[in-house]
Amino acid sequence: MIGWILRAINLEKGVQHRVHFVRDKMDRRGLLIHNLGLVSLVINFIVGTTAMSDSLRLYLVPFFSYCLYQFITCAVTCASMDPGYITQKTLDQNVKDAPLYASHQSFTDPVPECGFCCYPKPVRSHHCGTCDLCVERFDHHCPYLDNCIGANNFPYFFKSNMYAFTMEWLALSFWLKSIIYKTVFTSFNINRNIFNYFVLVLTAVYQLGGSIFNARVFFRTVYLTFKGQTLVEKKKKINFGLKPKDAYKLFLGKNWAWFLIRTGKR
């Protein structure tokens, strides 16, 4: 949904992404289910509040609102920021301390050149066929956010997935409790409220699909993060043998408090 808005603003980039969408039909289906699920989860959570006690509602409603706020800010930040594109400007900026060349023995060592964009290709960088640029520690191109996921915006991608996962399963569980409560323990008449009941079931089905899709992405991301691998490196069977603690610091940073409370760019 966020990606679709950004594509409408950037028409030239949108043409590239439409080609990408046609090429990968499975992503199109998954993203459609995911978007509908994100819209449905707010409805289902509101419905689910009817099955909560007053004391439980007092804590869960602010917690859900906090998760929603964190998800939106992190997703927008991830979609709008530079993921780590390797251009002449970034190469000139890094010429002194050269973090992109840290794994080479000296600054005079030859750095491989990308055959597509013709820029130097540092270690762990890969070329994105959609954006037509190399990205530092490239993970994948996310059509949902309409941006690459790389070294700069990976923490926001991880965080947005975590909060989306939390919201979706929280809303779904209380929606189910609410439906059971209304149909079994009260005089809720399904025949009289058949339209409302149908809408609630339909939104829950959409959200369930989105929840399963998001859970798959989230747990895969967690697994690869603590292995110190990107998605591209996993497919190419490249493993740097990082310890989980070192991999966490490399991919997500050292500040645990930021991970919980900070929004926007670090």
Catalytic site positions? 142
**Which SS3 state, helix, strand or coil, does residue 39 take?**
helix
Q: CA-CA distance, 232 to 126, in Å (whole number)? A: 8
145: tokens are 């956010």
Q: Give the up-direction half-sphere exposure of residue 173: CA atoms within 13 A in the CB hemisphere.
A: 8
126-128/133-135 β-pairing = antiparallel
248: tokens are 């966490």
Closest Cα to residue 157, out of 143, 173, 172, 171? Answer: 143
Contact indicator for 66, 262 with CB cutoff of 8 Å? no
Contact indicator for 178, 51 with CB cutoff of 8 Å? yes
Q: CA-CA distance, 58 to 38, in Å (whole number)? A: 23
